[in-house]
Structures are given as C-alpha cells and as structure tokens.
Amino acid sequence: MILAALTVPIIVQSPETFTLMVPNGPILTWLNSSVSLSCELSPLFNAEPLEVRWYRAKDFDSTALLYKDHKIQEASVDPRYRGRVSLTGELERGNLSLTLERVTLEDRGEYVCYVSSEQWYDKAIVLLTVNVTGSEPVLSVAEARGGGGQVNVTCSSEGWSPQPTLTWRNKDGTEIRHGQVLNTTDSQGLLSVSSWLLYSPSDSDWLSCTISLSGEKRESRIMPRAPMEGHWSLGAFMTLLFINLLVIFTLIGLFIWNKKTGSIRLSTSEKDDNAEGKTESNERPAEEANLLEEGVKKTDMETETQTEFFLKESATQTALRESFPKVDITLDPLTAHSSQAVSCCKKMVHCKKGDHASTAHFVLSENKFSSGQIYWEVEVDSKCKQTWYVGVTTTDAAQINKAIVPLKPGNGFWVLRYKKGKGYCVSTDPPTPFSGNENLETLGVFLDCDRQILSFYDADSAVHLYSFADVSSNSNTFFAVFSPGFDTFPLKIQ
C-alpha cells in the first residue's frame, strides 16, 4: 500500500505559473500507424479549465486540435487532421498528450503543445519522425570496364524515409566497404538509395545488400557472375549480312539463268511441241519470280529492325487474336509468397496488406507451355491498382529465389510492369518505358512458343503495347507469371 501510494502522481491546485514537459528527442512512428505526442503539465494539476492547442510549428492557425471551454472545438481543426486526432485523456491529471491516427508522410515535422490559463501560458515543441520501409533491393551485375576479371555489382531500392543504412556483405557475413551511397527524393518525399562496388567473383559465391532503418531491414543476394553478352559482335553481324546478300544474288542469278534456258528451249523445240514449250517457258520464270519474291521478303524480314517488324505485327492483331486459342490459366498457390493470397478458384491474387516489398514477389501459373500459340487475358484495372506486372518465365528461372536477381530477360523473365504515376515499362536492361492507356482494364498476352515472341495488347481496344523477341530457354518450357504489387486490389485472370 505504501509503495502504491508513492507511485501515484500528486495533483495540486491550479498554480499561477506552470511549465510543460515533452520528450527531449524525436518521437518515431511508422507510416499508417498511431502515435502519441507526449505533453504534461509541471506541476501536475487539473487542466480541464485551461485552453490546450496543438498546432504545426510556425503556423499557429494550422490547428491539429483545440480544447477550449471544456470541450474540443471541431470547427477550428485543420481539415488534414479532422477525424484523426484526440487527446489521450486524463486532463484532470495534467496529461495534454495528442493521439494521431493513420499517420501520413505529411504528418512528420514539429508540433507545438500550447497551454494557457487566465494568468499564464507556456508552449513546447515535439518532433515527429515518420519511418517508411522501402522495397527489397534490386541487384544487378555487369562486366567492369577494363576487365581484370572484376564485375560491377549495383544495389538499389526505393520508398524509404528517413535515410536508411546500406551494407554490403559476402557469404561469410563480412562487411565490404563500398563507394558513396547515392540518395534521390521523389515527389512524395521518399528516398531512393543506390550503391555499387567492383568485385572479383572468385572472392565469394554470393553477395548480399542490406538496407535497414530503425530495426527494419530489406536484404537481397546475388551471385557475382558477369552476364552473358546479349548483343551480337561486329563479326557476327557482318557474317549474317554477307550470307543474306549471297542468298539474294544467288536467287537473282538463278532467275536470269532459268529465263535464258527457257528461251533457248523454245527456239529449238519442234513445231508440234511449240505450245508445250511456250507454256513451260512462261510458267518456269513465273515460278522462279515467286520464289525470288518470297526469298527477298524473308531476307528483308530477317534484316529489318525489331521495331519495324512488330509495327507490322500489330496491324494484323485482330486476326491473330481470333486465331490464337484462349488458354484457361490457373494460379499455383504453392508458388505464392506469404504476403500474397490466391483465391479458391485460382483465378485471383492480391497482396494481403500494403507492403512495398511485395513488388518483388510473384505467383506462377499451374499451366506449362512449350509449343504453339497461346493467348490469355488478365484484368489489371489500372484505375484502382497502384502496381502490377505480368509476363512469362522459364522453368529454370522459376526456381530462383525471387529476391536474388532482377526480373529481366537475361535472368529468364519477360514482364510488363505498371506503377501509378510512372506508367508502363518492360523488363529490358535497362527498363524500357512506353506510353499507354492509364486506365487499362484488361491486358492481353500472346505467347508464340514456335517463333519465340511474347506480345502484350490492350485487350479492349486491340492496341499493341510491346513485343519481346527471342523469348527462349534451355528447357523450352514457360510459365505465366503474375504480381499484384503492394496494394490489396487483386489481379484477376479472365
């Protein structure tokens, strides 16, 4: 009983003067959470007769909460805080703390606790820091200039606040010194961080990049191996060009030779065979002309740029869509990340809660494709969703830990991405942005396994968006890949 009595704060009568007690350092909280901004009277006494005002520093009129005349004055509250603020309670015990719910990035900064009586007033500043955990680091490897067996390893992540700490480690857990970390700020005030280092693949089987903030961290790993060269060498290009020219000139020579031999045959024929010889001499050049025309067209198609080729492809999209069989795609729940939920019908997937790290996770189809032409549609509803990506991956790539490598063709992933505010891009290296319908509702996906082409279309308007060439794998087997991003609105397979 004696101990309990000693721990109960002593409430005194209203003094003529008083001071306010607030935390010495900043108050830390997380995005979308609730937080209490502490403020108490000293000495402790009943604050119900007082005026209590919480407002943003240097802006007395931006009132988060005003308590006056024994009640909260709702009409005086800044609209940004309406419905999100309250006094913690126990005004009679001198507790003036403010509770702020559903914290946003705009809430960070300095707040003033202002208290006045008829004889006295005091004010104190409370600093609020809002922490935001960003996306999982994206790692990539490129051959270093100058050779020497080293590779350039890059680590980048976005969506942090305030500035996090970036650490490189090898497989033994030893920290690796790296160059200066580059920070950039987006329109929402969130930080993107990136770092790079030169590394010898023989020093470690894998590297990890960890980005941490106030006990929360994101980590990705990668094998420091230089990627296969993705572009043709000059020698290979010249060889192909020479072969194409040789084919053209051979066809032209064949056409001329057949035309001449046809004329000789006609002049030396017997009169009773004149009609037959004439028909043969007319038909053979016509056949060779058709052969020449087809050969030239084929050669032109092989040598024209991918962009020109796919522009022609889009002109025949209606016919392709009608001829491609629409496959009944179902999702494989066993491939979904723990942050994702697949519906019982295996047609929908969504993120269980808003988490920027979920942008790195995906779910695969139960279907496998190895030949023929396949078409499916995905309801993406870009008006509602914040992020998503859709595409295909290979059997080998599907076994890779999703946090280890970027989702790009060199790693066996061909995907189209969308992020609200930034638009569309495809997973080339580096990513290729393109303009598209911001209100896209249904995405059509065409996979031609035989021609190794993957194409994306606005299924509602049949407008061609983008096509990948050389979609191939060692196993020659593909899965459809889906990611609902970090928002809770689902992707739905039609």
410 CB neighbour count, 10 Å cutoff: 16
2-131 against 138-222: fold identical: yes
Q: What is the CATH number of domain 319-493?
A: 2.60.120.920
Q: Dihedral (C-alpha) 173, 177, 182, 185: value to the nearest 10 degrees?
A: 40
State residue 223's pLDDT score: 82
Residue 34 three-state SS = coil
- The H-or-E segment that residue 94 falls in is none
Distance CA 156, CA 136 (A): 9
State residue 365's pLDDT score: 93
pLDDT in tens, 432-470: 888 888 888 899 999 888 888 999 998 888 888 889 988
Query: Sign of torsion, CA 409 186 420 166?
Result: positive
From 142, 113, 114, select the one nearest 126 (Cα to Cα).
113
Distance CA 137, CA 157 (A): 5
State residue 242's pLDDT score: 66
The token pair that represents 377 in the structure block:
């549609």
Rg of the chain over Cα atoms, rounded to whole angstroms, equals 34
CA angle 153, 156, 162 (to 5 degrees): 140
Task: Enumerate the domain spans of the chain.
Answer: 2-131, 138-222, 234-303, 319-493
Q: What is the CATH number of domain 2-131?
A: 2.60.40.10
Any bridge partners for residue 168, and if so which?
Answer: 176, 209
Q: 136: Cβ–Cβ under 8 A, 6 or more apart, which residues?
A: 157, 218, 219, 220, 357, 359, 360, 403
Those residues of the chain that have pLDDT short of 50 are 1-8, 228-236, 262-289, 291-316, 320, 358, 401
State residue 255's pLDDT score: 67
Query: Sign of torsion, CA 325 331 336 338?
Result: positive
State residue 234's pLDDT score: 46
Q: Are 175 and 258 in contact (CB under 8 A)?
A: no
Residue 332 three-state SS = coil
Q: Dihedral (C-alpha) 377, 382, 385, 390: value to the nearest 10 degrees?
A: 40
3-state SS of the chain: helix, strand, coil percent to 5? 25, 35, 40
The token pair that represents 434 in the structure block:
């393109």
Q: Are 88 and 99 in contact (CB under 8 A)?
A: yes
Peptide bond into 43 cis (omega under 30): yes
Residue 489 is classified by DSSP as: S
Burial (CB count <10 Å: 0-12, 13-18, 19+), residue 153: buried
Helix pair angle (274-303, 234-267), 10° resolution: 170
Distance CA 192, CA 184 (A): 5
Any bridge partners for residue 210, and if so which?
Answer: 167, 219
Query: Helical H runs in 268-394?
Result: 274-303, 306-315, 317-323
Q: Domain 138-222, what fold?
A: Immunoglobulin-like (2.60.40)
Residue 189 three-state SS = coil
